[in-house]
Structure 1
Amino acid sequence: MSLIITPISPALGARVEGIDLRQPLSRESHQALHQALLDHQVLFFRDQPLEPTQQARLAACFGDLHIHPIYPSVPEQPEVLILDTERNDLRDNALWHSDVSFLKTPALGAVLSAKQVPPYGGDTLWASSSAAYEALSEPLKRLLDGLTATHDLSKSFPESRFAVSEQDRLRFEEAKRRNPPSSHPVVRTHPVTGRRGLFVNEGFTTRINELSEAESDAILRLLFSHSAQPQFTVRWQWQQDDVAFWDNRITQHFAIDDYRPQRRVMHRATILGDAPF
């Protein structure tokens, strides 16, 4: 099986053809997909009607899978979470974020499958954290080197929205207990490619630990704005049964919330990674 890989943006992103993701990956296909992910940071596939078991099997080829502490999941496949606008408050996805960066070992990546999409709207943006870092001035790079930042689940999942009922409150408190805030380098080194990238995001990063509150707020505002510039991004217009596979270590993404009252349903399998350095 020969993959056809077509880049769709200078900074990141490629469309992949010539593979059926419903089938178990051969060694050659696994190696080719892994290399394409390293090269392009986010991969897109059309017409891949994955069942949850197939999606989990695909994602598990690249690492252990995460079970989300807040979102509901497919009952028979708990590693596949459900993002459904009729079931969930998804405002936390409508901002730039790196998935579950509050973990001690944040996600390596994720496989996202489009189950139901609106007739228009509902696109997702990805941004290359390495391209954003490389575009910084040398004095700012030197300032950021060695700094760490706190990432907190509660920033994107506030109690006011996710602990309304008694059942939800108990689940929310357990999620916070199991997932206390974590500190990670502001500039992360990719463990395979060695590329450096910004590892702060609007969704979960609360402050830069070594700076005063005012300094931290100012630098984070600068980095959030800088990272979202169009030249660092790619935009994907979803069709039903599309699949996206991205490297969460070196990207951020933003699910545009512009389609209501239309419904949008996505399934995500999240691959655990290692401690950032």
Structure 2
Amino acid sequence: MAPTATPATESKDDLEATVKKLASLKPIGHSSFKGDVKVGYEGSWIEGLPESTKARYARHGVDISNGYPYVPENDKIPKFVDEAYAIRNEDYPFIERGKNADPEKKALFGAAKEVRNLTKHIGTEIVGLQLADLNDKQKDELALLIAERVVVFFKDQDLSPQKQLELGHYWGQVEVHPQVPRINHQLDGISVIWQDYFREKYGLGLTFKKAIGGNSQWHTDLVHEHQPAGITHLHNDAIPKVGGDTVWASGYAAYDKLSPALQKFLDGKTAIYRSAHQYIDRENPLKGPKYVEREHALVRTHPATGWKSLYVNRSMTVRIVGLEPEESKVILEYLYSVYEKNLDIQVRFNWTPSKPGLGTSALWDNRISQHFAVWDHEGNEARHGTRVTSLAEIPYFDPESKSQREALGLSLN
């Protein structure tokens, strides 16, 4: 006679059946998306692709004949949070390219027509130099310049996605996101940044009255990674004639805005950071979407400059470890406001190139910054770009490190 099933056995079988069913479904996607995730080329919107983007791809032999963009197939996208953790969950060797670069940056600056600091504390534009032509010494000096100035801009660029990916590999392990759209199924590591597409295919609810969502909010890239983002390189090849700017804020300067007592309190503390995309908890699949979460230094030291940076952002910092929830909430809200409200530590950049048919690149260091894509063009003019992110070191705090202003001998008042 067959053994009688117990309630515990039935419950386990039901759970396994539920997990198996959920694994066959499409992924949940980004927390800002309202529609279903489109995989493979099924979400292709090639008819909406800007002509300047098509021309760039044609010049550089990029195949989009199957459709555009490409999203990894359903069976390649993690559905469960444990699968997402496992993608990059171990230490990976990282070389800080800016650490031993020439402090005077003679190779980089000597090849440029002009070097413009756009504000006192953040943002530099390099004029008359093609990123595709940089040698290794210039790449090292550029990494140091980004570490010092937070974000560096290059207009009038004829840059192939292939070369953009090559640059990313030079500065670190290139992040290959398991869910975000890519150019095609061959160029892993190049993410498509195209808000119009996300509105059309994923239900991203950007309107004039609600212009916050997706990339249009204060955030830092990939804080949930075991080794979070270092240099991100966004090349925009379709840019509105007016609007579509991006704003960056300096984590060095945000830290220097704090009182010595608050700096001392925060030094050495850690916080929990979450992913932008959601997954299913295998142990409790009916509980609802769950994020990848990691614990990192709240104040981190940059390995190239040795300066302290405030490492928080409103979108993805969950809580400060060791504090009561209400304590953490109050302090984090203040720290967000330091980044967001102090215009003197921000730079707002207009991407428009001076030469028709060319694009603009911005390269910034996520270890020391936040950014916000301004959605004032309302989708009436195309804005499209490709992004490559190089992952850096595990965040750390060196108690012997100094703040930027302290290191530069500037007033601390």
Asked if Structure 1 and Structure 2 have the same fold, meaning a TM-score greater than 0.5 normalized by the shorter chain, the answer is yes
Q: Distance in 1 between matches of 2:136 and 2:158?
A: 22
| Aligned residue identity for 1:250 | I
Q: Secondary structure at the match of 2:162?
A: helix
* Residue 153 of structure 2 is aligned to residue 44 of structure 1: yes
Residue correspondence of structure 1 range 88-237 to structure 2 within 5 A: 88=198, 89=204, 91-153=213-275, 156-157=276-277, 180-228=292-340, 229-237=342-350
* Residue 387 of structure 2 is aligned to residue 271 of structure 1: no
Report if the CA contact (8 A) 2:278-2:292 is conserved: no
Q: Secondary structure at the match of 1:231?
A: helix
* Residue 141 of structure 2 is aligned to residue 32 of structure 1: yes
| Aligned residue identity for 2:334 | L
Q: Distance in 1 between matches of 2:143 and 2:298?
A: 25
How far 1:116 moved relative to its partner? 1.1
| Structure 2 alignment gaps of length 5 or more | 1-109, 199-203, 207-212, 281-288, 354-358, 397-413
| Aligned residue identity for 1:54 | K
How far 1:60 moved relative to its partner? 1.8
Identity, % of aligned pairs?
Answer: 33
Q: Distance in 1 between matches of 2:253 and 2:124?
A: 16
Q: Distance in 2 between matches of 1:21 and 1:195?
A: 27
How far 1:104 moved relative to its partner? 1.2
- Per the normalisation by structure 2, the TM-score is 0.59
Q: Distance in 1 between matches of 2:337 and 2:178?
A: 29
- The aligned residue for residue 370 of structure 2 is 252
| Aligned residue identity for 1:215 | E
Q: Distance in 2 between matches of 1:129 and 1:236?
A: 17
Q: Distance in 1 between matches of 2:385 and 2:130?
A: 19
How far 1:119 moved relative to its partner? 2.2
Report if the CA contact (8 A) 1:92-1:203 is conserved: no
How far 1:158 moved relative to its partner? 5.5
Q: Secondary structure at the match of 2:171?
A: coil
* Residue 352 of structure 2 is aligned to residue 239 of structure 1: yes
How far 1:180 moved relative to its partner? 2.5
Report if the CA contact (8 A) 1:124-1:253 is conserved: yes
Q: Distance in 1 between matches of 2:269 and 2:364?
A: 26
* Residue 173 of structure 2 is aligned to residue 64 of structure 1: yes
- Per the normalisation by structure 1, the TM-score is 0.87
Q: Distance in 2 between matches of 1:125 and 1:188?
A: 22
How far 1:12 moved relative to its partner? 0.8
Alignment deviations for residues 128-155 of structure 1 (CA, whole Å, 9 cap, x no partner): 00011012101111111222111111xx
Alignment deviations for residues 61-92 of structure 1 (CA, whole Å, 9 cap, x no partner): 21121012332111131211001123223822
Q: Which has the higher strand share?
A: 1
Instruction: Give the one of 52, 55, 79 matched to 2:164.
Output: 55
| Aligned residue identity for 1:261 | G
- The aligned residue for residue 169 of structure 1 is none
| RCO higher in structure (CA 8 A, sep ≥6) | 1
Bigger Cα Rg: 2
Report if the CA contact (8 A) 1:114-1:239 is conserved: no
How far 1:233 moved relative to its partner? 0.5
How far 1:218 moved relative to its partner? 0.6
Count of residues in correspondence between the two structures: 258
Q: Distance in 2 between matches of 1:18 and 1:28?
A: 18
| Structure 1 alignment gaps of length 5 or more | 164-172
Q: Distance in 2 between matches of 1:231 and 1:265?
A: 28
Residue correspondence of structure 1 range 75-94 to structure 2 within 5 A: 75=184, 76-88=186-198, 89=204, 91-94=213-216
Report if the CA contact (8 A) 1:8-1:234 is conserved: yes
Q: Distance in 1 between matches of 2:362 and 2:327?
A: 36
Moved segments of 4+, more than 4 Å: none
Report if the CA contact (8 A) 2:196-2:379 is conserved: no
